[in-house]
Amino acid sequence: MDELIDIVDENGNYTGKTCLKSEAHKHGYFHPTVHVWLYTSNRQILLQKRALTKKVFPGLWDISVAGHIAAGEDVITGALREVKEEIGFDILTENLHKIGTRKHMVNHSNGIIDNEFHHVFIAELTVPIETLKVQEEEVAELKLFDLETILHTKDYKNLLLPQYQDYYCFVYDKILNNF
C-alpha cells in the first residue's frame, strides 16, 4: 500500500517534506518506521510470516509488527496503529516501551532503496495468539517462538536476517530486563 510519509535527513531530523512511500523507496529518502517486538510472560516472542506478496523478504519470519509512520503522525501513534492494523492487538500507550532508534540503510535487488530510522519498541502480548487477526495483505501467519530463537538466527532458514544479529541480541536483552 502506498502512503504519504514524512522525509527525514540522514540524522533522523524531520525536513518538513513528505512523499509517497514508493517515491522514498525509489530515491532512497530517509523516513521513519516502527518495529514492535511482542513477547509473552513465558519468554516467547511473536513473529509474523510476511505475506508472499511483499516486495521485500516475502515469506520471511520477521519482527512481530513493523511499518511506516504516516505523514504528520507521531511515532507512538504510528506504532499503536501498525500493531492494531497488522495483527488486531490493542496496546495501551503505557505498555509500549521504546528501547531505541536504529538507522537502517539497504539497497534491495528489486531496486528498493530502504533508508529508514526504525523506532524500536517492546511490549508484552497479553492475549492468546488465537485471538489475533492478521492483515492478510501484510501478514501470512503468526507464531510464537522461544525468545532465545532470536539469538540464533543463523541456525534457521527463513527466520529473521542473520546479518542483523547484533540488533536481535539488543532486543533480547531489553526484553529480558522486563522479567
The amino acid sitting at 31 is: H
What is the arithmetic mean of pLDDT over 152-164? Answer: 90
Scan for cell 531489553, then name that residue: 174
Greatest distance between any 2 Cα atoms in the chain: 43
What average pLDDT does the chain have?
Answer: 95
How far apart are the C-alpha atoms of 175 and 100, rounded to whole Å? 13
C-alpha cell at 130: 488465537
pTM confidence score: 0.95
Under CATH, what is the fold of the domain 4-176?
A: Nucleoside Triphosphate Pyrophosphohydrolase (3.90.79)
Q: What is the pLDDT of residues 74-100, one digit of tens each?
A: 999 999 999 999 999 999 999 999 999
**Grid cell for residue 159:** 527466520
